[in-house]
Structure 1
Amino acid sequence: MKEILDAIQSQDSTAADFAALSIPESYRAVTVHKDEAEMFSGVASRDKDPRKSLHIEDVPVPELGPGEALVAVMASSVNYNSVWTSIFEPVSTFGFLERYGKLSDLSKRHDLPYHVIGSDLAGVVLRTGPGVNAWNPGDEVVAHCLSVELESSDGHNDTMLDPEQRIWGFETNFGGLAEIALVKSNQLMPKPKHLSWEEAASPGLVNSTAYRQLVSRNGAGMKQGDNVLIWGASGGLGSYATQFALAGGANPICVVSSDQKAEICRKMGASAIIDRNAEGYKFWKDEHNQDPREWKRFGKRIRELTGGEDVDIVFEHPGRETFGASVYVTRKGGTIVTCASTSGYNHEYDNRYLWMSLKRIIGSHFANYREAWEANRLIAKGKIHPTLSKVYSLEDTGQAAYDVHRNLHQGKVGVLALAPREGLGVRDTELREQHIDAINRFRNV
């Protein structure tokens, strides 16, 4: 690994130099173990501790197949799917690996008693398999997390509809929280040159997800002037949705849970902000009954911030806790677009407010390659910025996942893999200097 790192850090290394590097037999990775899948049985979700289930260990380098690439991972990040994997909710990911392993002789590699997790990376291509022409050893890349087979016609209009669509590092093995990752070549995208490794690694999953959910015609199809309600507007997903709304001429109404988070939204340029804790919104009377009076109070507050208008789009991801309110406050003919259910996936809402007002609920899941590429392009052009707040070592990934699980973070948290320290990998210092305040907006918050 030292020779690989030396080549990456040298300014004189060529594609031939990288192609000549020896690939080690093993590498360090963050894993969960199949024989520990029941370790949190009977424990409340909130009390499940990723620090107990996530391991750092040496694992064998996987066989490289057609259309694939081995990437030296300089940095990665923690997403909520990393938390789900670590606490074995809503199901153990080993079921995903078992099913994938039955697909083909090549996919059997993924069905192992350990799962290398992680759905983001920034790094350097080491090897490519047969049939890969667009990428070469030495290319500096980031990876999006859509893994597809595309043997069915269903996936050829929108690859997210491929029956064999999976999220890399969550529903497949050999993810990005490691020193080496195995990806399909059509997951690769150019690393933004003005960002460090850890900055470049942090947007991938959440930036692409927010782009499809809010901007793409596969999602809400946001337009100029739209009022967009964004739950968790300073978080991993919401911070990108807020930026897309502002960059696209829409009006974000940012819902946050503290004044500190409200201040982050103001620094991004948002002015319509609701601190749901300070204003005491409780959408549920108890575990089984929602409170429509709170929906109405929430809707009134939104109209105070929009000059009397209801929201055109709700950017939903909390799920059960907020979904009834989201459906209620959306304008007639408006759209609720949802990509997750971090507070519970059994949603309840009053359907009268949906059908009588001609509203739409759209399900949105990650992004296809084109959407991910466009989202990354906006990062590379300095139009959208990383929301990295804190960086951990690979050894401290358990703590990073714990902090995300307990909502102790802002924006995204990064993880250094091969990179020996923060701040490395910047190739375009001029563009970086133009946007340095925005790049650092979330740091150490």
Structure 2
Amino acid sequence: MRSSFTSCSGCRVAEAPRGILAGIRVLDLSRMLSGPYCTMMLADHGAEVIKIEGPEGDTSRSNGPWRADDAAHDWAGYFVSLNRGKKSLVLDLKQEEAKATLRGLVRSSHVVVENFRPGVMERLGLGYEELAKLNPALVYAAIRGFGDPRSGESPYAAWPSYDVVAQAMGGLMSMTGADRDHPMKTGPGIGDVFAGMMLAFAIVAALRHAEQTGQGQFVDIAMYDAMLSLCERLVYLYDMEGRVAEPAGNGHPLLAPFGLFPAADGWVSIGVVDDGFWRELARIMERPDLADDPRLAGKSGRRAHAAEVNEAVSTWTRSRSKAELTALLGGRLPFGPVNDARDIFADPHVAARGMIAEVPHAEPGRKAWRVAANPVRFSLTPAIPASTPPRLGEHNPVFAPAKPVT
């Protein structure tokens, strides 16, 4: 990792990386996945994220999984992964003293993030309009299942929502699976994660506006809306062709060969769009008849004969191992083996890019945790090392009376 330097009497002294968001203070009232993923993105790049937790703590602290050496179940993987590098302050916001502590922090903060249902913070007297009176430059960011009434009141505004609901209603499940009779959710919690990513972008954009004008604002993401944005193909297919997008299995509705193909010991992905890649694939397969077939010339031709094209490629791939296919196709056309966790941990790409981060354990001498690293890289601002997630209320002595404010 490269270090930054500052001069002192002619010498150069290494400074610890601070991150591109150093100096930004975020009050994180969010729970579970969507909000914590957003604030993790900010903390990973140097923002000071103060996690405001109720007396019971974020629900994810008890979600597991736990390592074999954690008999007390103090450190759930769900929590460790999303809350590295943050601070924890326990405040029972039903109590006036706790509210006063939060209001005091708002005056010195740049961002508030929460993912409650609409009206919760207003009933506590801590809604955007009240907090903006204390700090007009405040960026107040909210993730809700169906958005906030301030930016367009959904008929579902009061409905609770989780990832599975957002994936279902936002169109993702209708496009995923083997066929229209078997819709399928994606493995990762993309309804939460994508909304969190979008909110992190929105926060940085609003911060830039606040720096230029001194004026903060309310920023709103609906999980439903985020999923619809992700499923952009669904919209233009219906608009242009009147076609309802359906699951394409492991293929593509517009391209062939494009998708997953069987290997002797698993699966590989192949994506052919350009004619040049199609001819190269036919050459490697030793099938000049495919390259010379006028019916298969161009994307539209291969699309019209997708079943024939995909079957020819599948017949060839299924007789070879993933390693053999990698040797034949890797670097010659868009190709990749389907990796599981074992493959990813052993992949030299992952090592070269530093995509498995080590998070120091809270207890000295104990083995570090390994989590997915932040994928964003800056040429001038080096990444900061992942730091230990907080114990519940660990930073109360810093930001509030030593005893948790309840």
**Normalised-by-shorter TM-score class:** under 0.3
Task: Provide TM-score, normalisation by structure 1.
Answer: 0.26
Higher share of residues assigned helix:
2
Higher share of residues assigned strand:
1
Task: Provide TM-score, normalisation by structure 2.
Answer: 0.28
Please say which structure displays the higher CA radius of gyration.
2
